Chains A and B, each alone.
Chain A
Amino acid sequence: MTIIDEPKTGEKVDAADLGYEHGRGHAHNHAAGDTDRPVGFGRLQRKEDPRFVRGQGNYTDDVVLPGMLHGAILRSPVAHARIVSIDVSEALARPGVRAVLTGKDLEPLKLAWIPTLSYDVQAVLATDKVRFQGQEVAFVIADDRYAARDALESIDVEYDILPPLVDARHALDADAPLIRDDLEGRTDNHIQDWECGDKAATDAVFAKAEVVVTQEVVYPRVHPAPMETCGAVADFNPVSGDLTLYETSQAPHAHRTVIAMVSGIPEHKIHLISPDIGGGFGNKVGIYPGYVLAIVGSIVTGHPVKWMEDRSENLMSTSFARDYIMQGEIAATRDGKLLGLRADVLADHGAFNGVAQPTKFPAGFFNLFPGSYTWEAVHGKVTSVYTNKAPGGVAYACSFRVTEAVYFVERMIDRLAIELDMDPAELRLKNFIPASAFPYDNKAGFEYDSGEYEKTMRHAMKLIGYDELRREQQEKRTRGELMGIGISFFTEGVGAGPRKHMDILGLGMADGAELRIHPTGKAVVRISVQTQGQAHETTFAQIVAEEIGIPPEDIEVVHGDTDRTPFGLGTYGSRSTPVSGAAVALVTRKVRDKARLIAAAMLETRPEDLEWEKGRWFVKGDPSAGKTIQEIALAAHGTMQLPDGVDGNLDAEVTYDPPNLTYPYGAYFCVTDIDKDTGKVTVRRFLAVDDCGTRINPMVIEGQVHGGLTDGIGMALMEIIEFDSDGNNLGGSFMDYLIPTAMEVPDWETGFTVTPSPHHPIGAKGIGESATVGSPAAIVNSVIDALRPLGVTAMDMPCTPARVWDAMQGHAKAPI
């Protein structure tokens, strides 16, 4: 096992920056007698943990306000039907029921429909018809949650059933049912077309290619399923006109703005609080009807109203993920030089186009589909359609469709390797973008910032013992055993984004940060992003600590409360470190520069004669003459005559507009064994080597990777939301929507290399979604690799025993 020093900020990193972490070997050897209070990057226990391990977190459903009532939503039992009538009289007469809202009640408030994050509209409560099973139809407000649920049973809705559209492949058929007849002039289910790359150049490359392979790659509909479902507590004060809203929101500032726009409540009167969140995974980015209903309910009843959905509601009605049907073509020379790549995607967006993504990127960052390789030309095309299903698409650690892009290209590379009868590792090594080519234009619109792919790949191959595994596989194959080795080498794109071309509903994707050093040298840093478990309260304190030398325990990180934090776009797309982390580094440097001016006055010297060491300005050549940041903070608030141009106190604020995304990457290897009598897949080993540039807290990174790898096993082997021909959701509870437990996952192996982002203030890239993005292809590729002796060249997720069994019999089916 090799574990090496973490590189320092800005330090040029070379051959030494390779690491491996497995089991408990990383643990806690303290340098004995180290009495210095440590600052900076490294393994640091989390500031969040003491409250969580005592049951003292404060999640939305823990919020209790005086007089608070409870809301519950009546949902459509069918996928597509006209609403003939809704009778709420019996429900209203029940004890404890305060109000029952229907779409008709919301229409005069102009709240029956609200805008989505993709400039479509979605129904809050259905007025004309229902468009997916589980859609919101009525809202009951009662004294407690039991009474509210009881009353749902007493609402009588008459539906006139319409034929549902379930299969996206038939969405554009001439006789397909028209789902969105609410939209003026609309005659079909087509949402949008989008293209990237160069079609003519790609056609030319394919025309001359020695080898062309065609493959359909389906990324089925799945769901982020955070352990805590979505919910809100709305408290409208009719006297002051203030709305206080506790919400499971990953983007509290953006939510406040959108709620102001739709509700008419002025933005300065909306106090939005995202308290502790029990996981988000992209599920908690958008605005759900339940939030709006809690607000309306509070206004109507004059009481605070809590709405918490249950698991089935969460799975059936909140943002799904993926659902991309991808037709791929790959062109190459016979000896394995990649030439061209085509992707033609059909995207199922459900009944309302509610995809959460930057406005100018209707297929998210699918632009990353060329992956980690050099091509002569590429062309990507995505057509999105409506179906009778819940809205969503971008969620579940997808980095705006990078999951789909990476899964696509990594499946295609393996498909070509099979065609060429070439080792898939060798094929990748032969075609990587060379380190010298960065920053690199990927020919689909994105410029990768940095990468040393070959080095990272070879490091991973060594750690997993690749050649030895191939030998073991050969031996097992002679005995008829099914063992597979799968590879995924991915390039992520995270940190949206430059405001010149990235916005959500017109809000530029920059993030603010404010830092205040108190007179006693303790600090508070206020950030615009919102942790859902990613440890921002710890790691953002580490960034401040690294930059200014105050110990992390003396630094409070404030987030999630729109009255107490600067504006910004929230946490998703692994954007916290790239954008908000940069803002925090820069605001700390701004404070440090101010401290330098004050220190110079204190030391009666010129600022340019001072030198910085962590936590202290001192006179060049005379290290004994210096002032600590704590001494400077006290002076900044004291009676000392401050230098010209320096106002009192020690604080600053910045808004960071990133120049580019960051492009972390990784080399993942999966070893699976398949039971040839049952088709059951066991992941025996999984190695993830990630490179996210400068590593702020390796312990937290490791945890992020472990969680994402588990997502990968879930998606690759068991998770799917399917529908029957009537539009019934077949994955609407944890009885059917299967998530890995401790029994299905291996003891993860992780490693790292360090290739800093050149444009980021501390060289750090995002990491949170890398493992979810990178791992499914490695697992599915390993399953296909295991089944190669049976002639299998492709199969789609999830690789359940039944579906693997079908593939073994030669009739692998595409998921619906």
Chain B
Amino acid sequence: MHVTMTVNGSEVERDIEPRVLLVHFLREDLGLTGTHWGCDTSNCGTCVVQLDGEPVKSCTVLAAMADGHTVKTVEGLEQGGQLDPIQQGFMEEHGLQCGFCTPGMMLTARALLDRSPNPSEGEIREAISGQICRCTGYATIVRAVQWAAEHEGADAAGGGPTNGQLETEGAHA
């Protein structure tokens, strides 16, 4: 079947099998491999993308269901060479290690901040509770989302040390 959708601001058209999952359409037809696939029972959320601004598990959406809709993936977070504050926050607060859950986590966090600019820790934890991370133990992800909330609208790179700068614990107040 023929599908047309807007992915990260660009219109794409493809002929696909009706049964193709959105996660595989994004990864294999469009080459957008930032979206990952971590389970087969809709539990892990490594495949989360935004569909019309709502976070969805793209392993549980047929590509055909996205026909005529708008999809945003991790590749669409950076705008004009400027990282989204949520991307910057994950780097500032060490909210990622292996990086496999990171794209899905960031898309969920982006949607959370869009509807709730100053979420509490509890709201953040609940928002990402449909997603599993094996590396971080979540606390630094919570801090990353808080960092992004505090730096929304500001020059994201200006709020903390840029990558490559080092500080010792002794430098802390």
Q: Which residue of A lies closest to B133 (CB)?
A: A227
Of the stretches A158-166, A381-389, A474-482, A735-743, the one at the interface is A735-743
Of the stretches A131-139, A495-503, A703-711, the one at the interface is A703-711
> Is there an interface contact between B99 and A57, defined as CB atoms closer than 8 Å?
yes
Chain A hits for B161, CB < 8 A: 28, 30, 45
> Is there an interface contact between B100 and A228, defined as CB atoms closer than 8 Å?
yes
> Is there an interface contact between B78 and A54, defined as CB atoms closer than 8 Å?
yes
Known A-B contacts A30-B167, A59-B100, A735-B43; the reply to A706 vs B92 at CB < 8 A is no
Of the stretches A33-41, A329-337, A796-804, the one at the interface is A33-41
Chain A hits for B163, CB < 8 A: 45-47, 49-50, 553
> Is there an interface contact between A700 and B40, defined as CB atoms closer than 8 Å?
no
> Is there an interface contact between B170 and A4, defined as CB atoms closer than 8 Å?
yes
Q: Which residue of B lies closest to A28 (CB)?
A: B160
B126 close to chain A: CB less than 8 A = yes
> Is there an interface contact between A50 and B170, defined as CB atoms closer than 8 Å?
no
Minimum CB–CB distance from B10 to chain A (whole Å) comes to: 15
> Is there an interface contact between A42 and B167, defined as CB atoms closer than 8 Å?
yes
Minimum CB–CB distance from A474 to chain B (whole Å) comes to: 30
Chain A hits for B46, CB < 8 A: 227
> Is there an interface contact between A278 and B41, defined as CB atoms closer than 8 Å?
no
Minimum CB–CB distance from B166 to chain A (whole Å) comes to: 4
> Is there an interface contact between A53 and B96, defined as CB atoms closer than 8 Å?
yes
Chain A hits for B124, CB < 8 A: 742
The CA of A542 and the CA of B166, in the complex, are separated in Å by 10
> Is there an interface contact between B164 and A49, defined as CB atoms closer than 8 Å?
no
Minimum CB–CB distance from A135 to chain B (whole Å) comes to: 19
Interface readout for A520-548 with B: 1 if CB under 8 Å, 0 if not?
A: 00000000000011110000001000000
- Which secondary structure dominates where chain B touches chain A? loop
> Is there an interface contact between A49 and B17, defined as CB atoms closer than 8 Å?
no
Interface residue from A5, A27, A747 paired with B142 (Cβ < 8 Å): A747
The CA of A30 and the CA of B158, in the complex, are separated in Å by 13
- Size class of the contact patch on chain A: 35 or more
Interface residue from B92, B97, B164 paired with A535 (Cβ < 8 Å): B97
The CA of A704 and the CA of B34, in the complex, are separated in Å by 23
Chain B hits for A542, CB < 8 A: 166
B131 close to chain A: CB less than 8 A = yes
B33 close to chain A: CB less than 8 A = yes
Known A-B contacts A311-B41, A706-B139, A707-B137; the reply to A698 vs B36 at CB < 8 A is no
A24 close to chain B: CB less than 8 A = yes
Known A-B contacts A53-B83, A703-B94; the reply to A533 vs B43 at CB < 8 A is no
Known A-B contacts A28-B160, A53-B90; the reply to A742 vs B138 at CB < 8 A is yes
A118 close to chain B: CB less than 8 A = no
B39 close to chain A: CB less than 8 A = yes
Chain A hits for B129, CB < 8 A: 741-743
Chain B hits for A438, CB < 8 A: none
- Kindly identify, within residues 95 to 112 of chain A, every residue whose CB is under 8 Å from any CB belonging to chain B: none
Known A-B contacts A734-B44, A745-B137; the reply to A42 vs B168 at CB < 8 A is yes
Q: Which residue of A lies closest to B102 (CB)?
A: A52
Q: Which residue of B lies closest to A279 (CB)?
A: B98
> Is there an interface contact between A43 and B102, defined as CB atoms closer than 8 Å?
no
Q: How many residues of B contact A (CB 8 A)?
A: 76
Interface readout for B13-28 with A: 1 if CB under 8 Å, 0 if not?
A: 0000101100010011
Known A-B contacts A43-B167, A44-B166, A54-B78; the reply to A311 vs B135 at CB < 8 A is no
A678 close to chain B: CB less than 8 A = no
> Is there an interface contact between A44 and B165, defined as CB atoms closer than 8 Å?
yes
- Kindly identify, within residues 709 to 730 of chain A, every residue whose CB is under 8 Å from any CB belonging to chain B: 709-710
Q: Which residue of B lies closest to A314 (CB)?
A: B39
> Is there an interface contact between A53 and B167, defined as CB atoms closer than 8 Å?
no
> Is there an interface contact between A55 and B168, defined as CB atoms closer than 8 Å?
no
Minimum CB–CB distance from B9 to chain A (whole Å) comes to: 15
> Is there an interface contact between A45 and B41, defined as CB atoms closer than 8 Å?
no
- Which secondary structure dominates where chain A touches chain B? loop
B32 close to chain A: CB less than 8 A = yes
Number of A-B pairs, beta carbon distance below 8 Å: 245
B119 close to chain A: CB less than 8 A = no
The CA of A52 and the CA of B140, in the complex, are separated in Å by 16
Minimum CB–CB distance from A400 to chain B (whole Å) comes to: 20
Which has the most chain A C-beta neighbours within 10 Å: B74, B141, B166?
B166
Chain B hits for A6, CB < 8 A: 168-170
Interface residue from A532, A551, A703, A745 paired with B164 (Cβ < 8 Å): A551
Interface readout for B128-169 with A: 1 if CB under 8 Å, 0 if not?
A: 111111111111111100100000000000001111111111
Interface readout for B96-128 with A: 1 if CB under 8 Å, 0 if not?
A: 111111110010000000000000010011101
> Is there an interface contact between B73 and A55, defined as CB atoms closer than 8 Å?
yes
Chain A hits for B168, CB < 8 A: 5-6, 40-43
> Is there an interface contact between B98 and A45, defined as CB atoms closer than 8 Å?
no
Minimum CB–CB distance from A364 to chain B (whole Å) comes to: 22
Known A-B contacts A62-B33, A553-B164, A741-B131; the reply to A43 vs B96 at CB < 8 A is no
Which has the most chain B C-beta neighbours within 10 Å: A6, A40, A279, A542?
A279
Minimum CB–CB distance from B101 to chain A (whole Å) comes to: 5
Chain A hits for B140, CB < 8 A: 702-703, 706
> Is there an interface contact between B137 and A49, defined as CB atoms closer than 8 Å?
no
> Is there an interface contact between B143 and A703, defined as CB atoms closer than 8 Å?
no
Q: Which residue of A lies closest to B122 (CB)?
A: A743
Interface readout for A265-281 with B: 1 if CB under 8 Å, 0 if not?
A: 00000000000111101
> Is there an interface contact between B36 and A59, defined as CB atoms closer than 8 Å?
yes
A312 close to chain B: CB less than 8 A = yes
Minimum CB–CB distance from B131 to chain A (whole Å) comes to: 7
The CA of A6 and the CA of B137, in the complex, are separated in Å by 24
Chain A hits for B138, CB < 8 A: 706, 710, 741-742, 745
Q: Which residue of A lies closest to B96 (CB)?
A: A52
The CA of A44 and the CA of B40, in the complex, are separated in Å by 36
Chain A hits for B50, CB < 8 A: none
Chain A hits for B142, CB < 8 A: 742, 747
Interface residue from A42, A57, A276, A278 paired with B169 (Cβ < 8 Å): A42
B52 close to chain A: CB less than 8 A = no
The CA of A56 and the CA of B131, in the complex, are separated in Å by 20
- Kindly identify, within residues 485 to 535 of chain A, every residue whose CB is under 8 Å from any CB belonging to chain B: 532-535
Known A-B contacts A4-B169, A28-B92, A42-B166; the reply to A277 vs B134 at CB < 8 A is no
Interface residue from A56, A227, A702 paired with B36 (Cβ < 8 Å): A227
The CA of A672 and the CA of B5, in the complex, are separated in Å by 49
The CA of A43 and the CA of B91, in the complex, are separated in Å by 12
A146 close to chain B: CB less than 8 A = yes
> Is there an interface contact between B97 and A54, defined as CB atoms closer than 8 Å?
no
A48 close to chain B: CB less than 8 A = yes
Chain B hits for A741, CB < 8 A: 128-132, 138
Known A-B contacts A227-B101, A311-B41, A703-B136; the reply to A49 vs B96 at CB < 8 A is yes
Chain B hits for A423, CB < 8 A: none
Chain A hits for B1, CB < 8 A: none
Chain A hits for B73, CB < 8 A: 55
Q: Which residue of B lies closest to A25 (CB)?
A: B172
Known A-B contacts A53-B102, A227-B38, A227-B101; the reply to A30 vs B171 at CB < 8 A is yes
> Is there an interface contact between A228 and B170, defined as CB atoms closer than 8 Å?
no
The CA of A533 and the CA of B74, in the complex, are separated in Å by 19
| Sample of 18 A–B contacts (CB below 8 Å) | A27-B160, A28-B160, A40-B168, A46-B163, A52-B96, A61-B33, A145-B24, A228-B38, A277-B98, A553-B164, A704-B97, A706-B140, A707-B136, A709-B137, A710-B137, A739-B132, A741-B138, A742-B126
Other A-B pairs, 20, CB within 8 Å; known A53-B91, A734-B132: A4-B170, A24-B93, A30-B167, A30-B171, A42-B166, A45-B163, A49-B96, A52-B96, A56-B34, A225-B134, A226-B134, A279-B134, A553-B164, A706-B136, A735-B41, A742-B128, A742-B138, A742-B141, A747-B142, A748-B139
- List the interface of chain B (C-beta within 8 A of A): 17, 19-20, 24, 27-28, 31-41, 43-44, 46, 73-75, 77-78, 83, 87, 90-94, 96-103, 106, 121, 124-126, 128-143, 146, 160-173
User: Which 10 residue pairs of A and B lie closest in terms of their CB atoms, listed nearest first?
Assistant: A55-B34, A533-B98, A278-B100, A52-B99, A706-B137, A5-B170, A533-B97, A42-B168, A55-B74, A734-B43
